[in-house]
Amino acid sequence: MSVSNLVGSFKLEPYPYGFMTNNLDETAEYIYVVGDQLIINEIKTRPTEELHGLRKLGSDKLMLLQGPQGDGESLTEKLDEILQDIQEGATNKAPR
């Protein structure tokens, strides 16, 4: 599955929280939050060449469904955070 397909698989909501478009119970919300985290983990394993267009997939009008523990970041901010984590991981793995 491509990175763009992975991003398209996120469970998204309007950003910032205005009104919730999904009336999910706690179990469904938990499943989506865990699923989104699994998608993030998968994106982080992808080769750098596949990540070049990741920022372009962002939106300041959408956010991941994060539940009450979420940080309230837009999709653009979350994708930037993922790229930063990848960059820091690559830096930490560099030979010394």
pLDDT tens across the length of the chain (96 residues): 999 999 999 998 888 765 555 667 788 888 888 999 999 999 999 998 999 899 999 999 999 887 666 677 899 999 999 999 998 887 666 554
In sequence order, the β-bridge partners of residue 63 are: 13
DSSP state of 49: G
DSSP state of 45: T
pLDDT at 94: 55
- C-alpha dist (Å) from residue 17 to 29, 60, 67: 15, 12, 11
pLDDT at 72: 77
Cβ–Cβ < 8 Å for 87, 81: no
Provide the whole-model pTM.
Answer: 0.82
